[in-house]
Every structure is written in C-alpha cells, then in structure tokens.
Amino acid sequence: MRHANSDGRDGVARTGTAPPGGSTGPADLNLLRTFLAVYRSGSFTAAAGLLGLSQPTVTTQIRSLERQTGRELFERLPRGVAPTAVAHDLAARVAAPLDALAAATGHDTEPHERAAPVHLAGPAELLCTRALPALAPLAAEGVRLRITPGLTEPLLDELRSGRHDLVISTFRPRGRALTSVPLMDEEFVLVASPAWADHVGERLASEGPAALHTVPLISYAEDLPIARRYWRHVFGSRLSRTAAVTVPDLRGVLAAATAGAGFTVLPRYLCGAELASGALVPLHHPDDPAINTAYLAQRPGRPANPDVIRVRDLLIEAGRTW
C-alpha cells in the first residue's frame, strides 16, 4: 500500500524501527535511508549525490526525521555535518537492516549511487607521510576518502561510536568493542642539527643525558610523551625538564629541529630524509632503540562498505614496508 511521505513525495512502506526521541510512530524507510546516507557521507550535498536527490530534498527529509524523533540528528557545520549522539545510536540500529534490505531488493547497486566514503583517522604525520601516499591509487579507482587527524584516545572513542571506519592507533586498543592488527613499528631517534651535535660532541657517551642539559628541547606536547618514552627505555631514567618549544605536529617539531632550535626525539620514518642529507644528526645509537607499534583499528565484523576492506588491506600491505 502506497502513502505520502512527510516531504510530500509518494513513497513505499514504513519500517517498524522506532527512532529515539519524541515520536513513537514508525519512521519512513526513505527518511531512514536518507539519514544513513548523510551519516555515512558527512554532508547533505554528498548524500544527495549518493541518492540521486536534490540537496533541498535531503535537507527536508532530515528535518522531517528530526521532527519525528524530537531530537537533533546532525550538527550543521560550515562544511558538512557532524552526527549527534542520537544519530550514532540510530545509525547503529538501522544500518544493518537497511543494508540487508537494499541487498535483498537489488537496490544497492543503483547506477547513480556510489559507495560511501571511507572515514580514516589517525596521527596527522602518519596519515600525511605514509597513509595518503599509499592510498592514492584508490582515489583514481573511485574510492572516496575522508581523513581526520587527531589524538588516539578521542579517535578511538569516535570509532566505537561509528564516526570513523578505521583508525591508525598509537597503541593497541583495549576491550572487545574494537579489533586491531599491527600496522608498523616506529623507531624513535634522538636528533639535533649539526651545530648542536658538534656542541654535544662525544659528551653524551660519557656523561649520558646530562650532556643535553644546556640544549633546548623541542617536544610534541608539554608532557613530553615521546621524549619521556625514549628516556625511560634507552637511558633507564626519568626525563625531568621543560620544553623550550612545543608544536602539536611532529612535522613542526622536525622543522624546528632542522632549523637549529634544539634537540628532539622523532620517529625515524619522519626524519629519514633529513638524517640521510645531514640536515639532522643522530645524537645516540642505542643497541636497543625505543620502538612503538602502531595498530590499525576497526569495529568487529565485516564492514557494510566494501571500500573499507580495500583501504584496510592496502594499508596493511603498505605497512610492511614502512
């Protein structure tokens, strides 16, 4: 039996999935399908392209669903939208049934539809210097990527809630809500410009880290996370000093060290070219270097979007050479 949709279009049957919030009535399948497209693509405009609808129609349908639920589903941003907690909950409940229905009815391969973007998050430096170059061929094949840089803890929380498909994590995620595989090992290197290396000279070997007392320290953050790890593992001691320069991007730390601002600890993959050219000099050559393993994390189960698997597999393959 046909009926009129809330936006005036003639539609099809309704689903028995009751959205959270103010309305207890069933939600229109078209509204839920539009909601899921917006949720996965991150914008009304992108969802319109996926569904073959106009952007105003998508906006009208989302507003209609928000009126039914009595709750805001998306926070409107200058570019795109961000799902609210209510949207995360609704997507978790309707995504699998809608995907299964689309597959059963043959509506998952409409000519005007493209696979949803793959949302990948992780440290900005790893994403920009390793992940994006490795994934570049997929863009030419039609895979769409949405990249989010950030710190591991909040990114993993967002992965659990469904905001991302994959997260490059600087540690192994805990609990059963996520699965992960080792992606790469980062070797940390104590480095400085040639001028500072000459200043320290051979004193580091004889005096230990005390030889660096007069050299400014450049760090990623005030609590010196990478340098503290290096001191603990290599020198077996606690690092207790204040950074002269802090830059919340390791590429900035690299630039400052290369320019002669002081010494720092960096992943070798990030400063390899500078070490090879002599722009940076390793100050220490430990027999047992400080290593950190990065992981590729995702939620358990096979993702509905096949492009997520393509991105995951290509990252794992590329990680073997990093």
HSE-CB of 282 using CA atoms within 13 angstroms: 14
Residues in contact with 241: Cβ distance below 8 Å, sequence separation at least 6, in sequence order: 213, 217, 224
pLDDT, average across residues 145-172: 92
Distances (CA, A) of 216 to 192, 246, 309: 10, 11, 45
Tokens 């492009």 identify what position? 307
Amino acid at 237: S
Phi-psi region of 8 (alpha: psi -120 to 50; beta: other; left: phi over 0): left
What tens digit of pLDDT does each residue of 29-43 get?
889 989 988 888 788
Q: How far apart are CA 34 and CA 68, in angstroms?
A: 14
- In this predicted structure, the answer to whether residue 4 has a pLDDT above a threshold of 50 is no
Q: How far apart are CA 154 and CA 224, in angstroms?
A: 19
- In this predicted structure, the answer to whether residue 79 has a pLDDT above a threshold of 90 is no
Amino acid at 151: L
Give the rounded percent of residues in the chain with a pLDDT score beyond 90.
58
Element (H, E) at 285: none
What tens digit of pLDDT does each residue of 260-304 get?
999 999 999 999 999 999 999 999 999 999 999 999 999 887 777
Picking from 126, 297, 277, 281, the residue whose alpha carbon sits closest to that of residue 191 is 281
Tokens 């500072």 identify what position? 196
Please, what is the average pLDDT of the chain? Answer: 86
Confidence band of 306 (pLDDT split at 50, 70, 90) = confident
Q: How far apart are CA 284 and CA 242, in angstroms?
A: 21
Both structure tokens of 138: 């997929």
pTM of the predicted model as reported, rounded to 2 decimal places? 0.66
- Per-residue model confidence (pLDDT) at position 76: 86
CA-atom Rg of the chain in angstroms:
25
Name the least confident of 4-18, 173-187, 223-237: 4-18
Q: How many residues in total does the chain contain?
A: 322
What tens digit of pLDDT does each residue of 84-130 get?
989 888 988 888 888 788 777 655 544 344 568 899 999 999 999 99
Long-range contacts of 273-281, Cβ-Cβ distance < 8 Å, separation of 24 or more = 274/191, 275/189, 275/191, 278/194, 279/193, 279/194, 280/191, 280/192, 280/193, 280/254, 281/191, 281/192, 281/193, 281/194, 281/197
How is 197-235 classified by DSSP, letter by letter? HHHHTTHHHHHGGGGGTTSPBEESSTT-HHHHHHIIIII
Using DSSP's 3-state secondary structure scheme, residue 237 falls into coil
Both structure tokens of 280: 């940076």
Both structure tokens of 35: 């909601």
Q: What is the largest CA-CA distance in the chain?
A: 86
